[in-house]
Structure 1
Amino acid sequence: MRITCVGGGPAGLYFALLMKKADPARVVRVLERNRAGDTFGWGVVLSDQTVDALREADAETADEISDAFNHWDDIAVHIGGRRIVSGGHGFCGIGRKKLLNILQARCEQLGVELAYETDVADDAGLDADLIIAADGLNSRLRQKYAATYQPDIDLRRCRFVWLGTTKLFDAFTFDFQRTEWGWFQAHAYRFDATHSTFIVEAPEEVWRAAGLEGMGKEESIAFCEKLFARVLDGHQLISNASHLRGSAQWIRFPRVVCKTWVHRNERGAPVVLMGDAAHTAHFSIGSGSKLALEDAIALARDIDKHGGDLEAALADYQASRSIEVLRIQNAARNSTEWFENVERHARLAPEQFAYSLLTRSQRISHENLRLRDAGYVGEFERWLAAQSGLDAQLPPMFTPYRLRGLTLKNRVVVSPMAQYSCVDGLPADYHLAHLGARALGGAGLVFAEMSCVSPDARITPGCPGLWSDAQGAAWQRIVGFIHANSSAKVAMQLGHAGPKGSTCVPWSGGEDRPLASGNWPLMAASEQQYIEGVSQVARAMTRADMDRVREDFVSAARRAADAGFDWLELHCAHGYLLSGFISPLTNRRDDPYGGVLANRLRYPLEVFHALREVWPEDRPMSVRISAHDWVAGGTTPEDAVAIAAAFKAAGADLIDVSSGQVSKAQKPIYGRMWQTPFAESIRNRVGIATMAVGAISEADHVNSIIASGRADLCAIARPHLANPAWTLTEAARIGYAGPVGLEWPRQYLSGKSQLEREFERQRADSVAAAEQANKALGV
């Protein structure tokens, strides 16, 4: 096999040496446009996991790299004159030039042909069976075959400059400095015996306001030295980018994603993307060199696995690496956005700010952080509990939470989940059993499903209501049971289905499908049809309709108060009536209730004001909103901040932050805790409490969200359908026995110790298995 690697960075060199090592008969060449000693980076960061993979792939190279490493476990966060340290993070730093020299020498030792100052404009003159396009971020081969690779390049918000210093940092250091123009941050780490990398970053608008765009190279370096003088401790900053002038050294990070990684050229040879040519991940989560080396290992492994079947090897390479890289890029996106919004996070106390930084990517959770540094997490838990007036160390999810005159025992909420099990809107024994079981299961707050303010406000004939005194009495029975038999609080969510009403119960006719008979007329902000060609057409509301519906909400709220509900929520999400006024996709009115966002909010705010007037002053009120319609032209996360601010000004105590379901054209991006960033943005920009929802399924998720200040409460839906005692179960799983924030019904106490012992045994087995695996690896 004849292999040509275009690009002499870590990807091209490492793949070349692995191919030559596996079969010395192969003809392997590396073509690099720069000279052998040229490099424009400073240090490279590799995780312990990557080092293990290097050792397995080629122990000799790994040993040389390891000998040159500077290893650290600590991350130090400097902000507001404080230094907060967390350990156990396991990273290694090495100079980029030193890494390349090691790889170059190993290539030469194995017989790889290295050709420097060889500029490959395209692959037309390359006679090879396999061409590796490892020609970097601005890959010309990727550009030539862009129709195949379909690259998506996103330039991020911040400007950054890659510098060095002789200050030797003893931890991976983040330093944050507030200026009159906004926040600057430094990412610094030692990579050899004499130097550290020092990256300075700021949002572009801050960078411009500070005048850096017009500064020369030396002037901008002096600016950074003065700004970070305390952490630099008298050391200078150094640039090795002699080829760049002035502000050109400050760049915006380009996030690269390619849909396809393999193209066959005119000769039939595969041209395969590798390293930065295929993908990038922001430097705040790990270096491109780490991903490049892992690409090389993966393709070499797949070629070895499939023998002479190159087609199968390339298919495996693209499938496995694209999935793994996407996972890392998702985490990198979270990290990137965190650093783009330091202004938002800096409103947190230094303790919570540092915790938020450590968990920003969502790859490090609360319990993972505890494994790394139990002392740090213990101190943080004590600090967080103290914010609630407690002198104790306990998981964040079990800290109490107070709004107005109401105190919740913990931060777990049972989401309002439609059950479609009422007759004429009347909740009966099913709802008593359903909601009662979940109240006994340990959650701090239990929501009744969206209850409708009139018969024509229902989604389906099976939906509950609060338009009659009989329904009020039925709810009072359920609330009374919960209060008498648990310490949980109970919330009512009021809503109006609007254009999504008069549909079948999902299991008998299909979700969102109109009834075969017995339909009732529908209203909406504007005339519309939720499912085009299928749903009933809803007419546009008149002012008289709006008055009637507002009074229906008020009557229902009075009944909810009389029934003893502790909390009231107004449903303004998911394309229902009030949500339909807010979204530009569904509000096309040309009167004072349509047009700009302030007008679209006018009627939902009118309803909210009316409810706040009749709802008891000492009981909280929240609003559920759709923070993102996931459709071009719809509500955006930026709109959601303005929506939340308007409801805060109207007297809302908390925003229940969901998204979507406004249009069938939506294209959400799902994942763990996928809607939590919307809750975090609203909480820390608007200054109002939020409830996070969406794929929150473990105690670890809840602890991480609450501890990092992303939300104040976490609403758990599907897990509570599977397990009414989700909170009690998760407490046992993480080894928390209470009593603060956790109450087992006395009737169930005999099962508590058995459950705790079982999870304790599972944790011990996991530790033993990990120790055995480490012993086998010699770790």
Structure 2
Amino acid sequence: MPYSRLFEPVRLGSLELANRVLVGPMCQYSADDGCMSDWHLIHLGHLALSGAGLLAIETTAVLPEGRMTHADVGLWNDRTQAAIALTLESIRRWSDIPIAIELSHAGRKGSVQVPWKGGAQLTSRHALGWQTKAPSALPYRFGQNAPEALDRADLQRIREGFARAARRASRAGIDVVQIHAAHGYLLHQFLSPLSNHRSDAYGSSLDGRMRFPLEVFEQVRSAFPANLPVTVRLCAADGIDGGWTLDQALSFAKELERRGCAAIQVSSGELLPSQVVPVVLGEPAWLAREIRRAVAIPVVMTSQTGDYRQVEALVAGGNVDLVALTGTLLREPRWPWQAARSLGARVQVPLQYLALADTLAPVSGLD
């Protein structure tokens, strides 16, 4: 039988994953005042049976004003925590897949309408909108209402928001916390000189721009159980002159590793609407490979391809240690079954599916 690197176990800190296929976080814009709904149980529940090694909950705001849209999932009070805990309790009756959550603050990219209603910015005059804040008073898109620049009290509130959300995640039963420092959200806004024009200790130099994201990491790492992993999604390059560069991302990755980061998920672009993201076969694979060479911790990359051999090659070729799938798993929720069959590997499926699973892939039943 052929050997598959993709379906080999891997460790994130002290947590062992059955394979290197991750269900990446996918925003659903279906929460009620930050609380998960029945839709999240349906969405996450069927992906928990996919055979992947880890399931990630969508980008979750640590404060109400940290949401992208009014319908984003949050984790800032007892109600939002209870909604997540109830969803996880239901999923874990039928699946033992480890579950991660991606904690975030949208900064200047917040207060927008849900995508299927156009995604336009909503100002504080709108019933569903609010005044956004960011490192500097620079709008994401020309013509938008500008964010307010964060002051020291705001920074403290956000740091504490991340820490409290991490503690709530632990109480809700989350296995892994991922901090979102990419895709143009608040922590990425601090890192990039295109969005951070501050002249205080949180701007100007690379050390200054990294200061707040690293403080947030330290707060989260202290708040989440020491035996469970905290990871970071970072931007490897803005792809625009004068922006965040790969060399700067390598420095940031090393600082995260030094502080106890268990893994790094690599993204690129999305700081400005005009960005062109460097890709190889649809993947920022070469960026991930450079970061993997700079750190000893596992590196993750999101793949947009559904080709089993290409995904296997990303891991087997040494570009990354794990691959996160998003849209591919929406189209093919049992993609890991099919990939295992193609690559000569095995995955676990529920006992209820075993009678049919043999026609799809070599499998093992869950106890």
TM-score in terms of structure 2 length: 0.94
Query: What do the CA deviations read for 1:397-438 (whole angstroms, capped 9, x no partner)?
Result: 110111222111110011111110111010021111101111
Instruction: Name the residue aligned to 1:389.
Output: none
Change (3 A) 1:514 1:630: farther
CA contact (8 A) 2:24 2:56 kept: yes
* Larger Cα-atom Rg: 1
CA distance in 2, matches of 1:435, 1:669: 31
Q: Cα offset for 1:751? A: 2.3
The number of aligned residues is: 360
- Select the residue among 323, 338, 347 that pairs with 1:729: 338
Instruction: Name the residue aligned to 2:6.
Output: 397
Change (3 A) 1:550 1:577: same
Instruction: Name the residue aligned to 1:521.
Output: 131
- Select the residue among 333, 355, 362 that pairs with 1:750: 355
Higher relative CO (CA 8 A, sep ≥ 6), structure 1 or 2?
2
CA distance in 2, matches of 1:553, 1:472: 14
AA at the equivalent of 2:200: D
**Root mean square deviation, CA, Å:** 1.7
Q: Which consecutive residues of structure 2, in runs of 5 or more, have no partner in the other structure?
A: 363-367
Instruction: Name the residue aligned to 1:760.
Output: none
Instruction: Name the residue aligned to 1:474.
Output: 83
Aligned to 1:727, what secondary structure does the other structure show? helix
Change (3 A) 1:514 1:702: same
Q: Cα offset for 1:724? A: 1.8
Aligned to 2:42, what secondary structure does the other structure show? helix
CA distance in 1, matches of 2:312, 2:98: 20
Aligned to 2:244, what secondary structure does the other structure show? coil
Change (3 A) 1:613 1:427: same
CA distance in 2, matches of 1:477, 1:410: 26
Aligned to 1:449, what secondary structure does the other structure show? strand
CA contact (8 A) 2:304 2:328 kept: no
CA contact (8 A) 1:422 1:428 kept: yes
TM-score in terms of structure 1 length: 0.45
CA distance in 2, matches of 1:594, 1:669: 26
AA at the equivalent of 1:442: G
Does the alignment pair 1:642 with 2:251? Answer: yes
Instruction: Name the residue aligned to 2:71.
Output: 462
CA distance in 2, matches of 1:456, 1:606: 20
Query: What do the CA deviations read for 1:220-268 (whole angstroms, capped 9, x no partner)?
Result: xxxxxxxxxxxxxxxxxxxxxxxxxxxxxxxxxxxxxxxxxxxxxxxxx
CA distance in 2, matches of 1:530, 1:720: 30
CA distance in 2, matches of 1:512, 1:492: 26
Instruction: Name the residue aligned to 1:550.
Output: 159
Instruction: Name the residue aligned to 1:669.
Output: 278
- Select the residue among 126, 141, 165 that pairs with 1:531: 141
CA distance in 2, matches of 1:735, 1:704: 11
CA contact (8 A) 2:7 2:345 kept: no
Query: What do the CA deviations read for 1:450-507 (whole angstroms, capped 9, x no partner)?
Result: 1001111110011000011111111112222333312311101100010000001000
Query: What do the CA deviations read for 1:574-600 (whole angstroms, capped 9, x no partner)?
Result: 111111000010000001111111110
- State percent identity of aligned pairs: 39
Instruction: Name the residue aligned to 1:247.
Output: none
- Select the residue among 582, 585, 592 that pairs with 2:201: 592
Instruction: Name the residue aligned to 1:24.
Output: none
Aligned to 2:137, what secondary structure does the other structure show? coil
AA at the equivalent of 1:462: A
Instruction: Name the residue aligned to 1:488.
Output: 97
Instruction: Name the residue aligned to 2:322.
Output: 713
Q: Which consecutive residues of structure 1, in runs of 5 or more, have no partner in the other structure?
A: 1-377, 379-392, 758-779
Aligned to 2:115, what secondary structure does the other structure show? coil
- Select the residue among 37, 46, 50 that pairs with 1:428: 37
Which portions of structure 1, spanning 4 or more consecutive aligned residues, are displaced by more than 4 angstroms? none
CA contact (8 A) 1:671 1:695 kept: no
Does the alignment pair 1:583 with 2:192? Answer: yes
CA contact (8 A) 2:254 2:294 kept: no
Does the alignment pair 1:566 with 2:171? Answer: no
Query: What do the CA deviations read for 1:37-81 (whole angstroms, capped 9, x no partner)?
Result: xxxxxxxxxxxxxxxxxxxxxxxxxxxxxxxxxxxxxxxxxxxxx
